[in-house]
Structure 1
Amino acid sequence: MTSFKNTLLLASAFAAAVSGAPVEQASAVSTKRGLAYNQVTALNPFAKKPCFSWSYNWGSAAGGDIQGTEYVPMNWGEKMFGEWDNLAEAALASGSKHLLAFNEPDLAEQANMSPEAAAAAYQQYMNPYGDRARLGSPAITNGAAPYGLDWMKKFFDACAGNCKIDFLAIHWYDGAEHAFWFKKHITECIEFAKAHGIDKIWVTEFQGMGDDVSQVKFMNEVLPWLDSNDSVERYAYFMVDTLLRGKSVSSVGQRYSS
Structure 2
Amino acid sequence: MNDTDETGKPLPSRRDALATGLALLAGSSPLVASAHTAAPLAGKSVKRGIAYDLANKEDLRVLSPGVSWWYDWGLKPNPGAPANYRRKYDMDFYSMLWNDSYDHATVVAWLKANPKIKFLLVLNEPNLVEQANKTPQQAAAFWPGYERIAAETGVKIVGPQITWGTMAGYGDPVAWMDAFYAAYRAANGGRDPRIDYLGFHWYDYGLSGQLDRLTKYGKSFWVTEFANWHWQSDGAQIDTLEKQMAQMTDMVSVCEQRADVFRYAWFTGRWNPDPHFSSLLTSPGTGQLTALGKHYLSLPFTKARP
Give a deviation string over 1:146-168, Cα, whole Å, max 9, x none.
22221122112122134211111
User: What residue number does 1:3 align with?
Assistant: 9
- Measure the CA separation in 2 of the matches of 1:24 and 1:256: 15
User: What residue number does 1:208 align with?
Assistant: 228
Give a deviation string over 1:24-47, Cα, whole Å, max 9, x none.
976724210112112422733534
User: What residue number does 1:252 align with?
Assistant: 292
1:99-248 alignment to 2 at 5 Å? 99-130=120-151, 132-143=154-165, 146-147=170-171, 148-160=173-185, 161-174=191-204, 178=205, 181-189=206-214, 191-194=215-218, 198=219, 200-209=220-229, 210=238, 211-241=240-270, 242-246=279-283, 247=286, 248=288
Aligned to 1:218, the other structure's residue is in SS state: helix
- Measure the CA separation in 1 of the matches of 2:63 and 2:207: 28
Aligned to 1:236, the other structure's residue is in SS state: strand
Greater displacement, 109-118 / 205-214 = 205-214
- Measure the CA separation in 1 of the matches of 2:147 and 2:37: 31
Are positions 1:48 and 2:78 aligned together?
no
Consecutive unaligned residues in structure 2, runs of 5 or more: 1-6, 29-35, 186-190, 230-237, 271-278, 299-306
- Measure the CA separation in 2 of the matches of 1:70 and 1:111: 25
Give a deviation string over 1:192-244, Cα, whole Å, max 9, x none.
222xxx2x111000111233211111112221221111000000010123322
- Measure the CA separation in 2 of the matches of 1:88 and 1:245: 36
| Counterpart AA for 2:73 | W
Q: Percent identity?
A: 27
Q: TM-score, normalised on structure 2?
A: 0.70
Are positions 1:74 and 2:96 aligned together?
yes
The answer as to whether partners of 1:173 and 1:208 remain within 8 angstroms in 2 is yes
User: What residue number does 1:32 align with?
Assistant: 47
Give a deviation string over 1:81-126, Cα, whole Å, max 9, x none.
2x35413431342210000111111111111111111112111233
1:78-93 alignment to 2 at 5 Å? 78=100, 80-81=101-102, 83-93=103-113
- Measure the CA separation in 2 of the matches of 1:44 and 1:108: 32
User: What residue number does 1:97 align with?
Assistant: 118
Deviation (angstroms), 1:251: 1.4
Change (3 A) 1:59 1:84: farther
Consecutive unaligned residues in structure 1, runs of 5 or more: none
The answer as to whether partners of 1:104 and 1:112 remain within 8 angstroms in 2 is yes
Change (3 A) 1:101 1:126: farther
| Counterpart AA for 1:129 | A
Aligned to 2:160, the other structure's residue is in SS state: coil
Change (3 A) 1:229 1:117: same
The answer as to whether partners of 2:136 and 2:179 remain within 8 angstroms in 1 is yes
| Counterpart AA for 1:202 | W
Greater displacement, 126-135 / 111-120 = 126-135
| Counterpart AA for 2:92 | E
The answer as to whether partners of 1:60 and 1:88 remain within 8 angstroms in 2 is no
Deviation (angstroms), 1:184: 1.1
Deviation (angstroms), 1:59: 0.3
Aligned to 1:74, the other structure's residue is in SS state: strand
The answer as to whether partners of 1:116 and 1:154 remain within 8 angstroms in 2 is yes
Change (3 A) 1:231 1:24: farther
Aligned to 1:122, the other structure's residue is in SS state: helix
